[in-house]
Structure 1
Amino acid sequence: MTWQRKLPLPAGYRLRDVLAFHRRDAESTAEQVGADMLRKGVMLEGVPVVLAVDFAPTEATCTADIDGSATPALERRIDEAFSSILGLRIDPGPFCAFAADDPLFGPIVRRQPGLRIVQSATVFEALTWAIIGQQINLPFAIALRRTFIQLAGRRHSCGLWCYPEAPDAADLAVDDLTSRKFSRAKAETLLRFAHLVASGELDLEPGADNPVETIGQRLLDIKGIGPWTVNYGLLRGYGHADCSLHGDVAIRAALQRLLGEEQRPDIVRTEQILQQYQPHRTMAAAHLWASLAPPDDNDTA
């Protein structure tokens, strides 16, 4: 079954940033990216779905190729996933206005107009990616992510792998991962998290009685998950506007460059600096990450 809609793109939409984020896996396991197109496989409501986007100057044609029937719940997930992978969940305008005259962020905001936060298709994808990527370099994290997808995911009828959901991951054993270069601690944390979500003990659905801040606190209570993982997961998963990435090495390196200092600020000082930009710390992090990239390189973590 096919689901389709057109989404208007905001003025100054930075297509190159979006494509670079989804192009990280050079083997195109679950994503295929071209000059003006994107295809991403993901499990939604237990169904393999390929999210396809064809870009025009002012709009994106979004098509979901569903290996099954569309339910209202699945259509809602598809709609949310498109907004996330296109970076349309957070309006960058408020932070740009807030930081326009700021001596630290003003110059980089002016150099990077329209910068957006590109998100994962689902909250589960964002949080598992954060767990996989914590404390290792990006190329190795991408290789582990590819392994995780091929172990727990499912192939769409078109051949593209679909990123798994919690029940898929919960079926794995620790040895399935450790035999493929996952550390035991990382494998145990990943599966512990998947089991909590699959069982319903950890509710990732935000609402009036389950705000994102509460979800973040519950995540912190899980063995193996720390503040960086939670903040990065909330950023990529919910588009939460005020995530503090003070523990991120790249954030500290960017601040060192902006401050013109010989050493990176420590985590405590970095947190103090970023607190000045509440409630826009997510966009502050995005601008700091982007400030480290050469002008012709927009790859992001």
Structure 2
Amino acid sequence: MYQAILNHEQKYNGKFLTCVKSTGIYCLPSCPARKPLLKNIRFLATEQEAIAEGFRICKRCRPDLFYRGENQDENLFNEMLVRIRAHPAAFQNIGTLAKSCGVSSTKLNELVRVHAHISPAELLNRERIAAACLALVTTSQKILDIGLAVGFESEASFHRQFLSQTAMTPSAYRSLRDTSEFTLKLPADFTPDYAWRYHLRDKSSLSEYLDEHGFTKALWINHVPVIIHLKIDNATAYCYWQQPSTSDVNSQPVGVLIHQQVIRLLGLNTNVSAFQSSAKQNSQMARLLAQSSPLYIPMTATPFESLVWAIIGQQINLTFAAALRQALIKLAGPVVGDSSLHIHPSAINIAALEPQQLTDIRFSRAKAQYLITAAKAIVDGELDLDQLATGSAITAEKKLCAIKGIGPWTARYTMMRGLGFADCTPVGDSGLHTALQQFYQLDKRPTATEVEQLMKPFSPFRTQATTYLWESLRKKS
């Protein structure tokens, strides 16, 4: 037992507790704190015994959280997010943020990478811009005052970061309050081809299409259907929309919500430059990048649409999955106004279905039940996908996998394409396993465990790496 605590072995957590007589605290065997001499230790079997003997909780390893099934780092990350969102300007730099969390800068970097899949600086900027966006459309404050209030040191840095994350200036964003169109400034290396291919995997889709005029899709905005039209010309995206009816729901302006969905559809939140920079010190990443032009990772218009696609796609090929999706949209997706476009069904639409209605359109009994169960979890408030998208990746995967019928592949695909996490590996994906076999020139397809190992060199950009690997299969087909 003493050797186990000297080695900080996590496998003994829950089997016994280390109670230090000199300090009066009790710890998990894996506690990172400096270990006392054996003569100063009592080993007890349960937390109740330790408390009864008068020992107190260790503030470093938090055995109380362990025995409640909670994770200390997960709690710390979630508490940190609450503090940042309440006062984004309170943290001038990463050192200030680390100090407020009671951890080192190294620990903070690890914490944010694991839970948010970005760096602490990127997290701060993301939350500052989110606060600025809200202020721009809900107040009449001067733009500079808003930038300073959320924590930026100058007007130039505010404008630079705002443009990077929203593809428009703060003043243009403010105009989303009362407009029916907007333009986005695209990165110089952006091309829409991959986004169009992703959104049109179903060549006969009822909810979106691409023609000489651009991309058209039906979306839910403020709980009513809207048709958006999106055209890419050189380095600019032009978007306008038609709203057959108005919403009585008190929510953000229509333009703001459509802007969010267009950013998702085009994959403009992809950190391509950071991926490319990492390749300079990573030979495997460099070799992967050399196989394709830069890829911006498109997402589904809403997280729920991604979850539906993932459940439909479980253990079947893409052609059949597209056919099932089309049948589902025809069954449960309302037609928008006088158009021929259906809108992708909402969670409410699908939760109202009976399994028999889905098996009648070639869903398996199990898949029909999984889809309806997931939709009901969202309608009942048990699963909040929008909240998961801006929280911890660890929390998101646990919440998703707690729903019957959702395993690691379905959860991670949803996290990639629906929630926007940057460091996901959809283990179990047939295409990924095949692509890795070819990339590493392996004699046989890698197992799930081997896939996890083979993808490690691409962290913290495994979502982008996965996309490049999928694309490598298309080019060889």
Q: TM-score, normalised by structure 1?
A: 0.92
Distance change in 2, residues 1:185/1:291 (3 Å) = same
Match of 1:127 in 2: 307
Per-residue deviation, 1:207:
6.7
Distance change in 2, residues 1:31/1:103 (3 Å) = same
Q: TM-score, normalised by structure 2?
A: 0.59
* 1:65 paired to 2:246: no
Tell whether the 8 Å contact from 1:36 to 1:56 is kept in structure 2 after alignment. no
Q: How does 1:58-207 map to 2 (within 5 A)?
A: 58-69=235-246, 71-72=251-252, 74-157=254-337, 158-206=339-387
Distance change in 2, residues 1:2/1:146 (3 Å) = farther
Give the match's secondary structure for 1:120: coil
Give CA-to-partner distance per residue, 1:175-194, whole Å, 9 cap, x none. Answer: 11011100010000000000
Tell whether the 8 Å contact from 2:436 to 2:454 is kept in structure 1 after alignment. no
Give CA-to-partner distance per residue, 1:48-105, whole Å, 9 cap, x none. Answer: 1112101111101111222222652644432211111111121222122212453333
Look up the equivalent residue of 1:94 and give its one-letter code: A
Look up the equivalent residue of 2:200 and give its one-letter code: R
* 1:48 paired to 2:229: no
Q: Distance in 2 between matches of 1:2 and 1:141?
A: 37
Tell whether the 8 Å contact from 1:7 to 1:61 is kept in structure 2 after alignment. yes
Distance change in 2, residues 1:195/1:29 (3 Å) = same
Look up the equivalent residue of 1:112 and give its one-letter code: S
Give CA-to-partner distance per residue, 1:122-171, whole Å, 9 cap, x none. Answer: 00001111111111000000000011111221111222111121111111
Where does the alignment leave 5 or more consecutive residues of structure 1 unmatched? none
Structure with the greater alpha carbon radius of gyration:
2
Tell whether the 8 Å contact from 2:400 to 2:411 is kept in structure 1 after alignment. yes
Distance change in 2, residues 1:148/1:275 (3 Å) = same
Q: Distance in 1 between matches of 2:219 and 2:321?
A: 19
Distance change in 2, residues 1:72/1:95 (3 Å) = same
Q: Distance in 1 between matches of 2:451 and 2:182?
A: 42
Pairs aligned (count): 296
Distance change in 2, residues 1:180/1:293 (3 Å) = same
Q: Distance in 2 between matches of 1:68 and 1:117?
A: 32
Look up the equivalent residue of 1:132 and give its one-letter code: I
Distance change in 2, residues 1:58/1:210 (3 Å) = closer
Tell whether the 8 Å contact from 2:335 to 2:343 is kept in structure 1 after alignment. yes
Look up the equivalent residue of 1:65 and give its one-letter code: Q
Give the match's secondary structure for 2:187: coil
Match of 1:39 among 192, 200, 216: 216
Give the match's secondary structure for 1:294: helix
Q: Distance in 2 between matches of 1:181 and 1:199?
A: 27
Q: Which region of structure 1 is more displaced relative to structure 2, 196-205 or 129-138?
A: 196-205
Identity %: 35
Match of 1:7 in 2: 184
Give the match's secondary structure for 2:422: coil
Q: Distance in 1 between matches of 2:383 and 2:245?
A: 27
Per-residue deviation, 1:29:
0.8
* 1:243 paired to 2:424: yes
Higher relative contact order (CA 8 A, sep 6+): 1
Q: Distance in 2 between matches of 1:219 and 1:73?
A: 30
Tell whether the 8 Å contact from 1:104 to 1:258 is kept in structure 2 after alignment. no
Q: Distance in 1 between matches of 2:190 and 2:359?
A: 41
Q: How does 1:186-265 map to 2 (within 5 A)?
A: 186-206=367-387, 210-265=391-446
Q: Distance in 2 between matches of 1:203 and 1:261?
A: 40
Q: Which region of structure 1 is more displaced relative to structure 2, 109-118 or 200-209?
A: 200-209
Match of 2:473 among 272, 292, 295: 292
Q: Distance in 1 between matches of 2:284 and 2:393?
A: 29
Distance change in 2, residues 1:34/1:100 (3 Å) = farther
Match of 1:283 in 2: 464
Tell whether the 8 Å contact from 1:85 to 1:120 is kept in structure 2 after alignment. yes
Q: Distance in 1 between matches of 2:446 and 2:396?
A: 29
Give the match's secondary structure for 1:111: coil
Where does the alignment leave 5 or more consecutive residues of structure 2 unmatched? 1-177
Q: Which region of structure 1 is more displaced relative to structure 2, 203-212 or 150-159?
A: 203-212
Tell whether the 8 Å contact from 2:179 to 2:255 is kept in structure 1 after alignment. no
Q: Distance in 2 between matches of 1:213 and 1:66?
A: 37
Q: Which region of structure 1 is more displaced relative to structure 2, 224-233 or 98-107?
A: 98-107
Match of 2:194 among 11, 17, 20: 17
Tell whether the 8 Å contact from 2:370 to 2:405 is kept in structure 1 after alignment. yes
Q: Which region of structure 1 is more displaced relative to structure 2, 13-22 or 34-43?
A: 34-43
Give the match's secondary structure for 2:189: coil
